[in-house]
Amino acid sequence: MASNIDVSVPGAHSEFKVVSILDTDLYKARTIFTMQQAVFEYYPTAQAVYRFAHRDKDRQLPKACIEKFKISLNSFAEVQLKQDERVWLQDKCNYFKPNYLDYLQSYRFKPEQITVNFIPSSDDPAMGSVEIEARGLWLETILWEVPLMACLSEIYFRYADQDWDYTGQEEQAMHKARCLFDARCTFSDFGTRRRRSLHAHDLVLSGIIKAQDAHEWKDGFFGTSNAYFAMRYNLNTIGTIAHEWFMGANRSNMQLQRRYRDSFGPLVKTLRRKSFCYTHGHLLYGSVLSGAHLKVITPLAFLDFGSQEFDSIRANQWKALRQDSGNPKAFAPRAKQMYEERGIDHTQKGIIYSDALDFNKAKALHDQCQQLGFTKCSFGIGTWLTNDFKMKSSGYKEKSKALNMVIKLGSIDGKECVKISDEITKNTGVPEAVTKVKEIYQIPLS
C-alpha cells in the first residue's frame, strides 16, 4: 500500500494544500458532519466563536511560520465535497439526509471567518504566541476546528522545526500495531488534528494496515476517525459526539439527545465488525450538558451525579462511555459501580479511552477492563501514532515534540461556553464562568 499523496518533505517550499473536505476527524466529519446536520436542522442561525489555545506556554512560534499559516488559509476556499465523496457518505453513513448533503455539497470554507493575530515576544519579536478565532454561523464555522490545527501543525514542522524526517515512520507504526494486537488491544486512529503532516498520517495508516493483514488477530484495528482515509483505504469510520454539541446548545440533556437522534431518523448504521459505537440512533459520548448554563462537565463528575444526569434509560441506550481526561484508572471502576446501581449488565457495555495513550497505558487499561468485566474496551490513539518523531540532530534518540494545541467553542450567540475537564489544564472558557460552573457542581477549583 504505497502512498501516492504528493506531500513535500521537511524544508521543501511547496505551499500547503487541503486535499479534501473529508480530511478531518469524524466527529468533525462523520460526527462533525453529524453535528453539522443537527445544527443545520435546529440552530441554522446561531452565531459561534471558536478559539485556539496553545497549551505549551513555554514554546514560542516563529512569526514567519504564522505568516505562512495565514497564507495557507486561502486554499480552504477551493475545497468542496466531490460527487464521489458524496456517494461514499450516502453509502457508508446513510443517516445523512438528502437536503443536508445538498447543503454540504454547496458548502465552501470562508477564510474571512478566521482571524490570526501574532503576539511578538518582548525578548525576540520574531518569536511569540498566536491568537486564532473563527467567527460566523455555527453551521459554517463548525468545520474549521480540525483542519485548522492539522494545517498549523504541518506548516510549523515544514517551515519552523525541520530537525526531523520520515525515516522509519511506516515501520514504527507496524511495530506499534503488532504490539497492540499481541496484547489484544482494539484501537482506532484518532490522530488527524495533531498529526505531523498528511503524509505522516498516510504512512502510519499504511503501516497499521500492513500489520493487521499479517497478524493472526483480525479484530485489532477498529478504523480511523479520518473520513478521507476511511474512504481511501475502505476503513471503518469511528467517531463520538464532540463536547461542543452540548456546549453550544442551551437545552436540557434529553432534548439535546432527542434532537441529535431525530436528525438521523430511526436507524444509524452500525459498524461492520463492532456495533457498540453507533446503533439505533444513540451515539456514544462521555461528557454532557446539564442545567441552565452552557457547559460540559467532567466525565467522572458526570458519573457521580447519579440518576439526575445518567438515568437507567440513558445508561441502557448508550453502548459505551468515553474517557478523555483525568485519571483513566479510576474510570472503569466508577463506571462499573454506576451500571450496577442501575441494575445494568456492565459486561455488555464498552469504554473508549482516548487521552494521551501509548502502548503501556493502553495495555494497563485493557488488563484492568478485562478484570472488571468490560470486555468491550477500545482505544482511540492520536499523537502517539501520527506525531511520534525523533530529532535528526540527536541521532534519532531525542523526541521531536508535537504541538500541544486545541480549538474549542468559545461562545454561541454571545453566551460563553465552558468545558470542565477531569484535568484542570484542559478546562476551557472564560475563567469566571469556569469558576461559577465548578461551584454549581461542587467540583474542586484547583
CATH class for the domain made up of 30-164+401-440:
alpha beta
- In this structure, the chain runs to a length of 446
The predicted structure's pLDDT at residue 442:
74
What residue spans define the domains of the chain?
30-164+401-440, 169-388
The predicted structure's pLDDT at residue 283:
36
Contact between residue 380 and residue 190 where contact means Cβ atoms under 8 Å apart: yes
Partners of 278 in the beta sheet? 283
Contact between residue 225 and residue 27 where contact means Cβ atoms under 8 Å apart: yes
Mean pLDDT by 10 residues, the chain (446 residues): 42 70 71 78 92 92 97 96 95 87 97 98 96 97 95 96 97 99 97 95 98 96 93 85 58 51 44 28 31 35 52 77 87 92 92 93 98 95 97 97 93 83 71 79 73
CA separation, residue 201 to residues 6, 23, 144, 204, 225 (Å): 13, 11, 19, 5, 12
The predicted structure's pLDDT at residue 310:
61
The predicted structure's pLDDT at residue 340:
92
Work out whether strand 187-189 and strand 221-224 pair parallel, antiparallel, or are unpaired.
Answer: parallel
In angstroms, rounded to a whole number, what is the distance separating the alpha carbons of residues 54 and 364? 29
What does pTM read for this prediction?
0.85
Q: Do domains 30-164+401-440 and 169-388 have the same CATH topology?
A: yes
Degrees, nearest 5: CA angle 261-262-264: 75
Architecture of domain 169-388: Alpha-Beta Barrel (3.20)
In angstroms, rounded to a whole number, what is the distance separating the alpha carbons of residues 316 and 306? 14
In angstroms, rounded to a whole number, what is the distance separating the alpha carbons of residues 26 and 44? 21
The predicted structure's pLDDT at residue 445:
76
Crossing angle between the packed helical segments 253-262 and 30-42, to the nearest 10 degrees: 100
In angstroms, rounded to a whole number, what is the distance separating the alpha carbons of residues 197 and 34? 25
Indicate the Cα dihedral angle 321, 104, 250, 264, nearest 10°: -50
Contact between residue 317 and residue 348 where contact means Cβ atoms under 8 Å apart: no
